[in-house]
Amino acid sequence: MELAQRIFELAKGYQHYTAENLSRLVRHKSLSTKEKDCALELKKMMSEAGFDEVKTDGLGNVIGRIGSGSRVIAFDAHIDTVDVGDRANWHFGPFSGEIKDGFVYGRGCADQKGGAAALVTAGRIIKELGLSEGKTIYFTGSVMEEDCDGLCWKYIIEEDNIKPDFVVITEPTSLNIYRGQRGRVEIEVSFHGLSSHASAPERGINAVYMGAKAALKLELLNECLASDRFLGKGSLSVTEFISSSPSLCAVADYSRIHLDRRLTWGEDKQVALREVEELIKDMNAKAEVLSYKEKAYTGLEYGMEKYYPTWKLEEDHPLILTGKETFEELFNRNASIDKWTFSTNGVVINGLYGIPVLGFGPGDEAMAHAPDEKVPVEHLFKASAFYAYLCSKV
């Protein structure tokens, strides 16, 4: 408990340092595949904090290391963000990084550069107190997460050959401990009709009507999907509808819809695909799981299937129990255990590779992708304390 108090006081003393680091990161706009400037800033911070090694891998992930022991731990924060959206909905500069009234303001503060700033401070504390003995601790500023969840960690595991004993994801949890999330799969359904002059639509087969009928059936399917006591219900949403025809006075001969299918426990891409195929079996249509492949800011082209498996740890998993103990000794109150509504890099880390994942991060999940994004400075210093103290206990 004496160590917990010492770490807490150090983290609190560094709260302005952590907030300033976050402000520096926010001032660099860093959409997916365009994170270079932010990555350079984070590398500089890690070096300033005394990390043993700081590098950038082939995909552009920033990887800081402290220690060289046999116990391998990783803390992850993705540094890419979504765009601003309608600027009129913001009451301050989205990339101002302003620190005011106990908050840091700007795009990415919660989702999730706040986690990156907090882990830099945690690394500084770990170095100062010598908490890395017997451990290799990685701190990753990962890229392209907003475009393709987990792609960055697919590269870290398969290409960098870093395979931690467990990973702490620093996505926003309002300082609660998270142990899972629904997965998702992106499916495209294409419909092929027959064009005719629009003055005689009976001569053609309208692909727009085909897609519309399928969309209505899919709306009904969403109501009867499976549910899990912890993760909740699966969901399905049509998020895009596109059509084409020889002209605007011709029956459409092609349409396609894009589906965002959230997967609860027990569901996978095969289940989701079969459900869709059953609904379109009497149509001239095809359903397929999409793939992602884009160039990183490094110039490397890399990709994966857009299937992001569901994952969860049981509440009595040793990592979750250690996380609860860490929280309660630091903050002298009971820890709350919950889950993310959205998707994280855990889909690959745990969902594909089975590496245990604990979620703990500064900021409110509701701030993710929203205008007027902000994070409490108090969350930042408490998160850094949690990360440092957790390292001492594992």
65 touches 52 (CB < 8 A): yes
260 tagged catalytic: no
Q: Are 118 and 70 in contact (CB under 8 A)?
A: no
Q: Per DSSP, what are the bridge partners of residue 73?
A: 137, 166
Whether 268 is catalytic is no
Residues 327-356 pLDDT 10s: 999 999 999 999 999 999 999 999 999 999
Phi and psi based region of residue 56 (left: phi greater than 0; alpha: psi -120 to 50; beta: remaining): beta
- 305 sits in which H/E element: strand 301-305
H-run or E-run covering 367: none
Q: Where in the chain is the domain with CATH 3.40.630.10?
A: 2-181+310-393
Block residue for tokens 């990962």 = 142
List all residues 6 or more positions away from 248 whose beta carbon is below 8 Å from its beta carbon.
198
User: Which pLDDT band holds residue 137 (cuts at 50, 70, 90)?
Assistant: very high
pTM: 0.95
Question: Around Cβ 92, how many Cβ atoms within 10 Å?
Answer: 15
Q: Which CATH architecture has domain 2-181+310-393?
A: 3-Layer(aba) Sandwich (3.40)
Residue 1 has a pLDDT of 73
Percent of the chain with pLDDT over 90: 100
312 φ/ψ angles, rounded to the nearest 5 degrees = -165, 150
At 178, give phi and psi (nearest 5°).
Answer: -110, 145
Q: What is the mean pLDDT of residues 34-62?
A: 98
Q: What φ, ψ does residue 243 adopt, rounded to 5°?
A: -140, 165
- The pLDDT > 70 percentage for the chain reads 100
Tens of pLDDT along 95-121? Answer: 999 999 999 999 999 999 999 999 999
Q: What size, in residues, is the chain? A: 394
Q: What are the pLDDT digits (tens) for 152-199?
A: 999 999 999 999 999 999 999 999 999 999 999 999 999 999 999 999
Instruction: Report the pLDDT averaged over residues 199-219.
Output: 98
Q: Convert the pLDDT of each residue in 31-46 to its tens digit.
A: 999 999 999 999 999 9
Distance CA 39, CA 116 (A): 11
What average pLDDT does the structure give for the chain?
98
- What's CA 384's distance to the chain center, in Å? 19
Active-site annotation holder among 145, 228, 275, 365? 145
Element (H, E) at 11: helix 2-13
Cβ count within 10 A of residue 47: 12
Active-site position among 41, 57, 80, 267: 80
Backbone dihedral region for residue 159 (phi beyond 0: left; psi -120 to 50: alpha; all else: beta)? alpha
Q: What is the dihedral of CA 136, 140, 145, 148, to 10 degrees?
A: -40
The CB-side HSE value for 283 (13 A sphere, CA atoms) comes to: 28
Rounded CA-CA distance 191/215 in Å is: 12
pLDDT of residue 171: 98
Question: Within the chain, which residue ranges are assigned CATH 3.30.70.360?
Answer: 183-295
Class of CATH domain 183-295: alpha beta
